[in-house]
């Protein structure tokens, strides 16, 4: 489904629900019965597949290609000086990101953008903050050439890997044409497609386990929808399927120093309407992948919830709602190989 259609469908859902919430919130929000209605309404809405649905295990992936891709993902020979691998910036112990404000590449060079998590990246409709790669294969090719990341090129990488007899044997057993650049990219992409974080509390809840979420998380889920957060954060990845301007309701960059990275999608399209526009990030595992925003400028999840309320929704969210929404977002943390990220 195209992003515009997703936005249209979601807008209809939001409109109906805002009518409901508008009536409810005309009364005292402290009432326990009203809170129950909010939670019950959230229970109903979340099973609408146009808004949220549980993540599913990827199918039809060759386990041998996954294994090979994982090995390549951790191989530092992809960088010019053999110090940086894909896993350097996409650390599974840090939710598939690196925990740094912006990426650190070869020789300690500092990038301009925050490292997105590699988990569930196959669920995104484009890759990178500015959406310049339409496929995982295109994304894989980028860092090798980037002078601030790996600062190498694919011919050099291929030459190094061809000196490894084990790699040569593995590629010959899996691909008719053996060890080639395209097959290296394919194996890494297959591995990345396998990186789906399963069994979050929210997934359990969507699958019918009503007690998987706490009352506070259910309240946060209701607030998440009441304010319209799911106009951008919806679908299986709870985001990652559209572009949006940072500062819809208020100029986020007013009186802030900006750099080229802040221009976002504009750097690709050169269209004025794409200034400060970025791919909306998926929210799965968001609680374990700080810092936040494209430039990693926000350290705490509570602060980015507040910021989104102000600049994207035009609302100054009460502390109580920020707290409950944050708790809801924590329920989006999934598992990898049976362990919580």
Q: Which of 149, 273, 302, 327 is catalytic?
A: 149
Residue 24: pLDDT above 50? no
Cα–Cα dist 247/262, whole Å: 12
pLDDT of residue 43: 54
Residue 66 has pLDDT above 90, yes or no: yes
- Of the pLDDT bands very low, low, confident and very high (cuts 50, 70, 90), residue 9 is very low
Q: Can you spell out the DSSP letters for 150-207? A: T---HHHHHHHHTT-HHHHHHHHHH-TT-S-HHHHHHHHHHHHHT---B--HHHHHHT
Q: To which residue do tokens 């607030």 refer?
A: 223
* Confidence tier at 33 by pLDDT (50, 70, 90): low
Q: What is the mean pLDDT of the chain?
A: 89
Element (H, E) at 10: helix 3-24
Q: Give the pLDDT of residue 30.
A: 45
Identify the pLDDT of residue 53: 84
What is the distance between the terminal CA atoms of the chain, rounded to a whole angstrom? Answer: 29
Residue tagged 């559209």 (tokens)? 242
- The predicted pLDDT at position 36 comes to 60
Contact 143, 86 (CB under 8 A): yes
> Which tens digits make up the pLDDT trace of 287-310?
999 999 999 999 999 999 999 999
Q: How confident is the model at residue 39 (pLDDT cuts 50, 70, 90)?
A: low
Domains annotated for the chain, with CATH where assigned, are: 3-56+198-242+280-340 (1.10.760.10), 63-193 (1.10.760.10)
Q: What is the mean pLDDT of residues 178-182?
A: 98
At residue 46, does pLDDT exceed 70? Answer: no
Instruction: From 179, 307, 326, select the one nearest 253 (Cα to Cα).
Output: 307
Cβ atoms within 10 Å of 61's Cβ, excluding its own = 14
Residue 29 pLDDT exceeds 50: no
Q: Is 149 a catalytic residue?
A: yes
Overall average pLDDT of the 122-132 stretch = 97
- Whether the per-residue pLDDT at 13 is higher than 50: the answer is no
Place of tokens 């894989």: 140
Instruction: Give me the count of residues in the chain.
Output: 341
Handedness of CA 15, 304, 128, 269 (dihedral sign): positive
Q: Which contacts qualify for 94-98: CB closer than 8 Å, 24 or more apart?
A: 94/288, 94/289, 95/119, 95/285, 95/288, 95/289, 95/341, 96/195, 96/285, 96/289, 96/341, 97/289
Q: What is the pLDDT of residues 84-121, one digit of tens each?
A: 999 999 999 999 999 999 999 999 999 999 999 999 99
Rounded to whole angstroms, the Cα distance separating 240 from 243 reads 8
Do residues 99 and 290 lie in contact, with contact meaning Cβ atoms separated by under 8 Å? yes
């Amino acid at each position: 489904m195209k992003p515009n259609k997703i936005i249209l469908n979601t807008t209809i859902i939001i409109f109906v629900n805002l009518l409901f919430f508008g009536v409810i919130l005309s009364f005292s929000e402290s009432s326990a019965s009203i809170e129950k209605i909010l939670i019950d309404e959230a229970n109903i809405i979340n099973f609408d597949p146009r808004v949220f649905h549980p993540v599913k295990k990827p199918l039809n992936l060759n386990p041998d290609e996954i294994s090979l891709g994982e090995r390549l993902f951790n191989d530092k020979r992809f960088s010019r000086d053999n110090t940086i691998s894909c896993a350097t910036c996409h650390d599974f112990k840090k939710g598939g990101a690196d925990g740094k404000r912006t990426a650190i590449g070869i020789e300690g060079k500092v990038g301009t953008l925050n490292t997105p998590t590699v988990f569930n990246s196959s669920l995104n409709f484009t890759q990178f903050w500015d959406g310049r790669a339409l496929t995982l294969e295109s994304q894989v090719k980028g860092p090798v050439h980037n002078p601030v990341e790996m600062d190498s090129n694919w011919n050099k990488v291929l030459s190094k890997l061809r000196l490894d007899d084990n790699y040569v044997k593995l590629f010959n057993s899996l691909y008719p044409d053996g060890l080639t650049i395209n097959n290296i990219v394919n194996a890494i992409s297959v591995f990345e497609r396998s990186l789906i974080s399963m069994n979050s509390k929210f997934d359990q809840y969507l699958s019918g386990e009503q007690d998987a979420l706490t009352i506070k998380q259910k309240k946060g889920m209701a607030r998440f929808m009441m304010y319209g957060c799911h106009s951008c954060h919806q679908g299986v990845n709870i985001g990652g399927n559209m572009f949006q301007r940072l500062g819809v309701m208020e100029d986020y960059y007013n009186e802030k120093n900006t750099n080229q990275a802040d221009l976002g999608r504009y750097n690709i399209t050169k269209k004025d309407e794409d200034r400060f526009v970025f791919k909306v990030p998926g929210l799965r595992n968001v609680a374990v992948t700080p810092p936040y925003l494209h430039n990693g400028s926000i350290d705490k999840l509570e602060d980015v919830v507040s910021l989104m309320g102000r600049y994207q929704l035009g609302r100054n969210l009460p502390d109580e709602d920020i707290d409950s929404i944050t708790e809801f977002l924590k329920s989006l943390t999934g598992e990898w190989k049976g362990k919580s990220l």
